[in-house]
Amino acid sequence: MSAIVWQLLHALLMVGLAPLVTGIVRLAKSRLQGRRGPSPLQPYRDLYRLLQKEAIVADSASWLFRVAPYLIFTATWTGAAIVPAFTSDMTLVPAADLIALVAMLGVARFFTALAGMDVGTAFGGIGSSREMMIASLAEPAMLMMTFSLSLLAGTTAPAGIGAFVLKGGIHLDVSAGLALLSLLMVAIAENGRIPVDNPSTHLELTMVHEAMVLEYSGRHLALIEAAGMVRLLLYMTLIASIFAPWGIAQPDEPAVFAVTGLLLFLVKVVLMAVALAVFETSIAKMRVFRVADFLGGALLLALLATIFIYVSEAV
Amino acid sequence: MTYEPLAYEFDVAHMIDAMVLMFGFQLLYQRRMQSVLRSFALQAVALAAAAAWQAHVQRAPHLYATAAIALVFKGMIVPFALNWLVVKLGIHRNVETALGIGPSMIVGVALVALSILLVLPVTGKATALTRESLALAMSVILLGMLMMITRHNAVTQVVGFMALENGLILAAVGAKGMPLVVEISIAFSVLVAMILFGIFFFQIRERFDSLDLRYLEYYRGDRQ
Amino acid sequence: MLIAAAALSLLVLAMVAVVAGRFPVVHRMVYGATMVAALVLTGGALDHLTGMSAGEAPTTVLPIGLPWLQAHFRLDTLTAFFMAMINAVAALASLFAIGYGTHVPEHRRVTPLFPLFLFGMNMVLLADDAFSFLVSWEFMSLSSWLLVLSDHRSETNREAARIYLIMAVAGTFCLLAMFGLLSGYGGDYTFATMRHTELSGLPAHLVVVLLLFGAGSKAGLVPLHAWLPLAHPAAPSHVSALMSGVMTKVALYAIIRVLFDLNGGVVWWWGAVMMVVGAVTAVVGVLYAMMQTDLKRLLAYSTVENVGIIVVALGLALAFLDSGDRLSAALALVAGLYHALNHSFFKSLLFLGAGAVLGSTHERNLNTLGGLLKRMPITGTTFLVGAAAISALPPLNGFVSEWLVFQALFRGPALPHWTMKFGIPVVGALLALAAALAAACFVRAYGIAFLGRARSAAAAHAVEVNAPMRWALLALAGICVVLGVLPVVVSTALAFVVNPLIDVQMNPAAGMGWPWLSPTGSVKGSYSATVVILVGGLLLLAARFAVRVWGVRKLRRAPAWDCGHAEDIANAQYTADSFAQPIRRVFGSTLFAAREEVEMPMPGDMEPARHRVIMRDPVWDFLYVPIGVAVGRIADLVNRLQFQTVRRYLLLMFLTLVFLLILVAVRR
């Protein structure tokens, strides 16, 4: 029974906290760039403003254009509901593992790319083709990272890996370090952050993600922006639950642990948001075809992580 | 003197060794000359950290000297000197590669797998943990060699040679008891080699107006 | 009995089609009757599968064929599974053909061969001795060759048929040699004898090599795949669906039958070889698919990719079996069979959809299509389901088999051999790369063909297809959804199929019971499609509710914004080549030597600039062309024997006789 309660709370938290996290990232970036910056609650106001506006749909768009934002948001939210944030005593935890999580993010990406092509403009094509190139390297890197973690922890479920780390299964392991590095690189690519993609660019030729959603407006755009924010929080939660799972309440622990877990989770998320802002400010965006080298490096790092297990653990 | 390292000491040592290896990979990844020199400097700093940690763990103070030499020579003097050479000779800032960056990284990973395969049958006194440092050091050596053979420009080949030497030092500090005399003689021989390389570079540049080694092959008649 | 009757009825139908082919209604009736026969066969196979217990396998011996070796037929779990699969697909393809069959060029040549082709495939599955197997295999090959050749007025089709015939005959020859080795010196070619004969050493290895060449070329393994992208598109679409979705599975059936049943005890490193070949096939296949602008060739190359994935699973099962880990072997084999099942359905769906597009617009080139989702809603929606299924998106069926394959791979490092321990992560990386590239490929195919604006008049005036075609497409899409939503039911059935081969009972819901798919226990990883769909549905409703409460319902149609550069020219949008450009630059510059050339006209010239993509096909250029040239040279040399004088011929015969006599003398 408590599992269902925690699951509901977790799902609502993921959606409710996501705009705040994005706001913190933007505020930190502004301060680092010497500006005052908007309030961290501004994304909530942005989403509400978009919801209140009329949605304008192109003449050449089909029904897919209008349905896609809902599918994208639902797929991302479902993925976020599966990764434990402050407790792993949730009903959905056994319903999907890391492979399924990668695939659900793939669903969101598939429909975003199709929506980009639906209106029949050149900019949509730019975004979709670049996004699929980035995905063709980021997905394998994530799957190989899952492989190495599953070899270490014996399971592909993020809750299980977290539990393994909590029991002291992984110390300062080279493989775990390489897997973490690979996951960070993939997370930057998938969320469209500098150095892979600039989320606040206005130059269409430098866009990847923004170009796909260029034609969206009103409530559709609100859903897509919200999905992007939830995706950022999802990746932060994933990194925290696998590599820094201290504080996540396990299924047989009393409820108060979940509360302390929640506080710790908030601390972790704020730290990661600030770290992301510092990283984005200190590095320049790469040329599009350098992104392939970057993600190829992530894939090879993940492969190395798998191979290194043999020398350290004598599997 | 004997010592029994604790588990976490090995872990930290492996992490630092892995950082040396990562910088070795970063050497292969860069496309600009100054980024290559910066990665090499970082690798030397990581090497110094590894030597310092080993000095602390093995309670062998002469390794601190090794760390200092690595930091000063290879972390500061050599990159600075090479950078000065690059600027003075007006060498192209782009790194020309014989094998693309993607394929070189793939070959690099294959070399790491090879070194792991090689150290796996080593058993006996050497435990699994020393095996890992040996595998890491050998990977750094092989990656340095890869850097040398897949780059056309002479400066990058020297950097590859230095990276190879970094790997040797890493292997040596990992093993117990490397005497200081060896380290000093290696450092001096590297310095002499650097001076010779510098002279050589000036000569090539004067003759061919470029440091691209393909011109040497043309001159020798190896390539039309 | 019922199965035999249904199978023979197919022969009758073929004759009817030949005799009365002049009337279009006869064609429709023939396809309708084929559909009924196929449904009967499916039902019979499923009935057998659910009815019989694990070891039972009814056999029949018919007094046809060679006098000392009658024709043996056997229906065990593996055969029943494959029969159910191929006949279900064939039934739906026949349903499609009821609406489509008369619009095909040269349809009078196609309709009689369609039931014959199906008959041949069913006989291959039922065959229990080498002779009937090979006869049915040739029957299948030749009828499909004739189907490829049906539109013989096109030069490309003739060339495709020629290459297909060469590869098919070479493949049969390899299988013939293989069965010769398998039967040993006994002369008894029944499978029952082969099961009991143990082979070892060189003959055993030769058997595997010949099998991979013979059946592998039919399935489409690189580098023997070259005929597949030429022949599959050349045939009419409902036949392509059968060839890609079903005939490749029959070839895989042959591989499974020989490796797991007839020749038990294959060495583990053949499993490693199969895994490497499969992984390379998968990546190369999908990269080729990414570069195609012809929709049907793209689908054919995608078949190559999926066959690679299945072969990786089969190789993994072999390796596990040789190491004694039967549970993991069963998991790998179930994963492979599930992917075969899924692929036959979603690939047929995609080919039939391409057939619908071809019938409506008479265009196969992606660069001339566009905006078809609005003009052909049912075709567009079902094609979307197929594209999502093949890109392994949950909750459809493609994802379940990918998940199972990855779970089997993740158990790989438990194998004792170091080659496997190092090789399995590499194979896993290649498979993951292939899966991601497949998603990119189908975003491209669907986005260019069905979304956006029409790039030609034909696409702008397309109409939706007729009722039987729509029903076939909808049925296939529905099956894809069902196979994705009920993974535990299907994998339990597959575990039952696999049981007699691997001799272990695997429980796919071992960890947590229905509806969680957790074949290796709940701790190791689980997936529940039903839960995911339920939760997804709930969250979707919540999202809609939130939008309803906090947002407004207003919507307005307007011209596309396009950053203010609104153009009416439909050709300003992305083409298939331009969509593939990033991936072509990253992956294609080494493998395909892909480069782009721009021909700029001189200043003042009114000609348009032209942009071309130049690629080469490495397998064709480096393997087939040299072999072709070498065969030509040898033929030229041997040709000189045709033009000798009488005296030279007599000399030749005399020398041969003397040589044989010397041999006899020396051996004595």
Q: What is the pLDDT of residue A201?
A: 81
Mean pLDDT by 10 residues, chain C (668 residues): 70 72 77 85 82 66 71 84 92 91 80 88 89 91 91 88 92 92 76 78 87 91 89 90 92 92 80 94 94 93 96 93 85 93 95 93 90 92 96 92 92 84 91 95 95 88 88 94 88 82 66 63 73 89 91 88 76 88 87 85 88 85 89 90 82 91 87
Asked whether the predicted pLDDT for residue B169 surpasses 90, the reply is no
Which of A184, A196, A209 has the alpha carbon at shortest distance from A289? A196
pTM of structure:
0.91
Average pLDDT, integer, range A215-238? 94
Chain B CA closest to residue A170: B11
pLDDT in tens, C386-414: 999 999 998 899 999 999 999 999 888 88
Do C380 and C450 touch, CB atoms closer than 8 A?
A: yes
B132·A312 Cβ contact <8 A: yes
Asked whether the predicted pLDDT for residue A314 surpasses 50, the reply is no
List CB contacts (< 8 A) between C420 and chain A.
none
B131 and chain A: CB distance < 8 Å anywhere? yes
Look at chain B and report how many structural domains it folds into: 1
More confident residue, B178 or A25: A25
Q: How many residues can be counted in chain A? A: 315
pLDDT in tens, B53-104: 888 887 778 788 888 888 888 888 888 888 888 888 777 677 777 777 888 8
Q: Is residue C271 classed exposed, middle or buried when 0-12, 13-18 and 19+ CB atoms within 10 A define those classes?
A: buried
For chain C, the chains sharing at least 3 beta-carbon pairs closer than 8 angstroms are A, B
Which of A4, A3, A30, A36 has the alpha carbon at shortest distance from A277? A30
B128·A292 Cβ contact <8 A: no
Q: Which of C530, C550, C577, C586 to mutate to test the interface with A (most CBs of A within 10 A)?
A: C586
Asked whether the predicted pLDDT for residue B139 surpasses 80, the reply is yes
How close A32 gets to chain C, by Cα (Å)? Answer: 31
Chain B stretch 131-170, residues whose beta carbon is closer than 8 A to a beta carbon of chain C: none
Complex ipTM? 0.94
List CB contacts (< 8 A) between B102 and chain C.
586
List CB contacts (< 8 A) between C586 and chain B.
102
Asked whether the predicted pLDDT for residue B17 surpasses 60, the reply is yes
Question: Would B222 be classed as within a structural domain?
Answer: no
Q: What is the pLDDT of residue A112?
A: 95
Asked whether the predicted pLDDT for residue A168 surpasses 60, the reply is yes
Q: pLDDT > 90: what percent of chain B?
A: 15
Average pLDDT, integer, range A131-140? 93
Question: E strands of C263-361, at which residues?
Answer: none
B117·C590 Cβ contact <8 A: no
Q: Which helix (H) or strand (E) holds A97?
A: none
Nearest to A54 among C370, C524, C556 (CB): C556
Q: What is the pLDDT of residue C478?
A: 95
List CB contacts (< 8 A) between B103 and chain C.
590
Q: Which of B9, B12, B14, B16 to mutate to test the interface with A (most CBs of A within 10 A)?
A: B14
B117·C418 Cβ contact <8 A: yes
C422·B120 Cβ contact <8 A: no
Do A50 and A222 touch, CB atoms closer than 8 A?
A: yes
Q: What is the pLDDT of residue C523?
A: 59
Q: Which of A201-205, B220-224, C402-406, C575-579 has the least mean pLDDT?
A: B220-224
What are the structural domain ranges in chain C?
268-506, 574-614, 622-667
Chain C CA closest to residue B106: C426
B105·A296 Cβ contact <8 A: yes
Q: What is the pLDDT of residue C470?
A: 92
C422·B103 Cβ contact <8 A: no
Q: What is the pLDDT of residue B153?
A: 78
For chain A, the chains sharing at least 3 beta-carbon pairs closer than 8 angstroms are B, C
d(CA C33, CA A262) in angstroms, rounded, equals 65
Do A292 and A140 touch, CB atoms closer than 8 A?
A: no
Angle, helix C397-410 to helix C377-390, in steps of 10 degrees: 0
Chain A stretch 77-96, residues whose beta carbon is closer than 8 A to a beta carbon of chain C: 77-78, 81, 92, 94-96
Nearest to B120 among A174, A177, A311 (CB): A311
DSSP string, C324-349: T-HHHHHHHHHHHHHHHHHHHHHHHH
Chain C CA closest to residue B113: C422
Q: Which of C417, C422, C585 to mutate to test the interface with B (most CBs of B within 10 A)?
A: C422
Chain A CA closest to residue B134: A311
How close A167 gets to chain B, by Cα (Å)? Answer: 16
Question: Would B221 be classed as within a structural domain?
Answer: no
Q: Which of C450, C451, C565, C568 to mutate to test the interface with A (most CBs of A within 10 A)?
A: C451
Q: What is the pLDDT of residue A36?
A: 93
Q: What is the pLDDT of residue C507?
A: 67
Chain B CA closest to residue C419: B117
Q: How many CB atoms lie within 10 A of CB C666?
A: 7
Omega cis (within 30) before C519: no
How close B139 gets to chain C, by Cα (Å)? Answer: 16
Q: How many CB atoms lie within 10 A of CB C259?
A: 26
> What's the half-sphere exposure (Cβ side, CA atoms, 13 Å) at A55?
21
A151·C410 Cβ contact <8 A: yes
Alpha-carbon distances of C70 from C65, C197, C374, C445, rounded to whole Å = 6, 20, 57, 49
Average pLDDT, integer, range B120-138? 71
For chain B, the chains sharing at least 3 beta-carbon pairs closer than 8 angstroms are A, C
Task: Report how far apart the first and last C-alpha atoms of chain A are (Å, whole number).
Answer: 39
Chain C stretch 348-377, residues whose beta carbon is closer than 8 A to a beta carbon of chain A: 370-371, 373-374
How close A34 gets to chain C, by Cα (Å)? Answer: 30
How close A246 gets to chain C, by Cα (Å)? Answer: 20
Q: Which of B117, B119, B122 to mutate to test the interface with C (most CBs of C within 10 A)?
A: B117
Question: Would B200 be classed as within a structural domain?
Answer: yes
> What's the half-sphere exposure (Cβ side, CA atoms, 13 Å) at C85?
33
What are the structural domain ranges in chain A?
2-314
A315·C413 Cβ contact <8 A: yes
List CB contacts (< 8 A) between C590 and chain B.
100, 103
Determine the structural domain holding residue B182 and report its residue range.
7-216
A283 and chain B: CB distance < 8 Å anywhere? no
Which of B175, B169, B109, B191 has the alpha carbon at shortest distance from B143? B109
Nearest to B117 among C422, C586, C590 (CB): C422
A94·C556 Cβ contact <8 A: no
B49: pLDDT confidence band, cut at 50, 70 and 90? very high
